[in-house]
C-alpha cells in the first residue's frame, strides 16, 4: 500500500505545471469533450507507466542492492533538481495534425509521446525499483497522473490560475530529495 500511496502522491505533485498538464488544457480547449480526453490520458498513462514500471522491476534483478541504492539515491536527487525546472508545452503539441484519430486517439498518441522520458516516467522506473514492485507503483503513478490532469480537462483555466505551481514544484523537489537521501542512507532496507 505504501508504494501505491507514495507513487500517487509523487506523480500528482510532479505533474503540476508539467507539459502533459498543459497538453490536457490544450486538448480540453480544442475538443471540449472531457470523457474521451480523460480515457485517452488513462490509456496512454497505463501503457507508458506499465513499460516504465517493468523497466524498474527489471533493474532490481540486474543491479546488486548496494549499487541499486546509490543509483536510486542519485536518481531521486537528480529528480529533485529537475522538479525546479518548469516545463512548457513543446512547439506544435496539441495542433490539428492528429485530429484524424479522433479525440481519444489524439489524446492517447499525444500523451504517450509526451510522457516518453518525462519526469513521471522516470519516477515510475525509480519507484518500481525502489519498492521492487510493479502493479502498485503503476496503479499509483497512473492515479497520480489522473489526479493532476483530469481537473485541468474539466475546469481548465480556473484550476491553473489558482494552483501555485512554483510552490508545488518546491514541495515535489523536497519529497524527491528526502527519498534520495533515504535511499542513500539505506532507510527502509
More confident residue, 85 or 42: 42
Domain boundaries, the chain: 2-89+99-185
More confident residue, 49 or 90: 49
Q: What is the pLDDT of residue 15?
A: 84
- Separation between Cα atoms, residue 8 and residue 25, nearest integer Å: 21
- Separation between Cα atoms, residue 14 and residue 174, nearest integer Å: 11
Length of the chain: 189
Answer yes or no: are the C-beta atoms of 79 and 176 closer than 8 Å.
yes
The overall longest dimension of the chain from CA atoms, in Å, is 51
pLDDT tens, 13-48? Answer: 888 877 777 778 778 877 778 999 999 999 999 999
Runs of H (alpha helix) within 32-131: 34-62, 65-83, 102-115, 119-131
Q: Which three cell numbers stand for residue 162?
A: 489558482
* pLDDT confidence tier of residue 95, bands split at 50, 70 and 90: very low
Answer yes or no: are the C-beta atoms of 114 and 48 closer than 8 Å.
no
End-to-end CA separation in angstroms for the chain: 17
Residue among 53, 38, 47, 51 at smallest CA distance from 7:
53
Q: What is the pLDDT of residue 139?
A: 96
Which DSSP string corresponds to 5-38? HHHHHHHHHHHTT-HHHHHHHHHHHHH--HHHHH
Mean pLDDT of 120-149: 90
Distances (CA, A) of 179 to 47, 92, 170: 25, 35, 14
* pLDDT confidence tier of residue 93, bands split at 50, 70 and 90: very low
This model's pTM is above 0.75: no
pLDDT tens, 158-177? Answer: 655 665 666 666 776 787 78
Give the contacts of 176 (CB within 8 A, at least 6 positions apart): 10, 76, 77, 79, 80, 83, 123
Residue 17: how many other CB atoms lie within 10 Å: 20
Q: What is the pLDDT of residue 91?
A: 42
More confident residue, 8 or 132: 8
Chain mean pLDDT for the chain? 79
- Separation between Cα atoms, residue 100 and residue 110, nearest integer Å: 13
Amino acid at each position: 500500500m505504501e508504494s501505491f500511496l507514495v507513487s500517487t502522491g509523487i506523480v500528482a505533485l510532479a505533474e503540476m505545471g508539467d507539459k502533459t498538464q498543459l497538453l490536457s488544457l490544450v486538448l480540453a480547449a480544442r475538443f471540449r469533450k472531457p470523457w474521451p480526453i480523460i480515457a485517452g490520458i488513462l490509456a496512454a498513462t497505463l501503457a507508458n507507466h506499465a513499460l516504465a514500471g517493468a523497466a524498474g522491476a527489471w533493474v532490481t534483478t540486474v543491479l546488486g542492492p548496494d549499487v541499486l541504492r546509490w543509483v536510486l539515491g542519485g536518481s531521486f536527487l537528480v529528480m529533485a533538481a529537475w522538479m525546479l525546472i518548469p516545463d512548457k508545452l513543446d512547439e506544435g503539441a496539441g495542433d490539428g495534425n492528429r485530429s484524424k484519430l479522433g479525440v481519444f486517439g489524439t489524446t492517447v498518441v499525444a500523451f504517450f509521446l509526451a510522457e516518453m522520458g518525462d519526469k513521471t516516467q522516470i519516477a515510475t522506473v525509480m519507484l518500481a525499483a525502489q519498492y521492487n514492485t510493479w502493479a502498485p507503483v503503476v496503479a499509483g503513478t497512473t492515479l497520480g497522473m489522473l489526479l493532476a490532469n483530469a481537473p485541468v480537462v474539466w475546469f481548465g483555466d480556473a484550476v491553473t490560475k489558482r494552483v501555485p505551481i512554483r510552490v508545488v514544484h518546491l514541495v515535489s523537489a523536497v519529497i524527491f530529495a528526502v527519498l534520495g537521501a533515504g535511499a542513500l542512507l539505506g532507510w527502509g532496507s
